Amino acid sequence: MLDVGCGPGSITKGFGDRVAHVTGVDMSEDVLHQARLATFDKPNVQFVQGSAYELPFPDNSFDVVWSHQFLQHVSDARGALSEMFRVAKVGGLVAVREAICDTYQVAPQCQHFVQWRDLYKAIAYQNSAEPNAGLFLEHWMADCGAEVGSIKYQHTAMTYSNMNPEARQVYCESWSDRVLNSSFAKQALEYSLAQDHELDSISKSWAKTATDTHAVVLYVNGECMGKKSEPVKFVA
């Protein structure tokens, strides 16, 4: 199995408990270092540095190729998805899961949350990426090598509430930090899409949501999978 855009490897590590062998690939050596530390006791999990546009593997290498919340960040989602199909075995499965940014909601309602959502979209579009990638997965797969009739699309809602307060707190606190200390913050300022005081207000709103025992944060994911098609055979 291959996990494209694996980041620090939290999902890759989980796959390691379920499949014979899984490889994670990411461009950032820093996050790959974190991933290797987190999986030092799992010999069937490995990580490789590489670009999603030129995956460092031969054709027909993997039974399953997976990507989670990655295509929304790249400027050529079809190019990355085509590479995923290239390295999948004929008849193998390519599966992707992406958020639909416009579906993000929070309660109690907060103007800073709307500002964050709009800023997220604006940064993505500035980077020629698609923040609503979850909507387009079926079309992209049809263009990139999926077997006709094999494509399956569905959506699921991701909800953070008092059903799992620890997860809600971790998610909201992560965004409270990322708004100030990540590429999100850097690009928001670099592209003149927000000012420091606006980012500070958004961060504080996320921190407040993290401690609100009745807060709800939700969004919709698009989920799509398809099999790699047989190569076209020409008869002379």
**Tens digit of each residue's pLDDT, the chain (236 residues):** 999 999 999 999 999 999 999 999 999 999 999 999 999 999 999 999 999 999 999 999 999 999 999 999 999 999 999 999 999 999 999 999 999 999 999 999 888 999 999 999 999 999 999 999 999 999 999 999 899 899 999 999 999 999 999 999 999 999 999 999 999 999 999 999 999 999 999 999 999 999 999 999 999 999 999 999 887 555 55
pLDDT in tens, 6-52: 999 999 999 999 999 999 999 999 999 999 999 999 999 999 999 99
Average pLDDT, the chain: 95
Backbone angles phi, psi at 99, to 5 degrees: -75, 160
pTM, full prediction: 0.92
Q: Please count the CA atoms within 13 angstroms of the CA of 17 that sit on its side-chain side.
A: 6
In angstroms, the CA 184 to CA 131 distance is 13
pLDDT in tens, 160-178: 999 999 999 999 999 999 9
Q: What DSSP designation does 232 have?
A: P
Domain ranges of the chain: 51-227
Partner residues linked to 93 by β-bridges: 64, 227
| Cα–Cα distances in angstroms (integers) from residue 37 to residues 15, 111, 189, in the given order | 16, 39, 32
Q: Given 3.40.50, 1.10.20, 1.10.1760, 3.30.70, which CATH number is that of 51-227?
A: 3.40.50
Q: Are 136 and 130 in contact (CB under 8 A)?
A: yes
* Bridge pairing between strands 45-49 and 22-26: parallel
* Bridge pairing between strands 88-107 and 152-160: unpaired
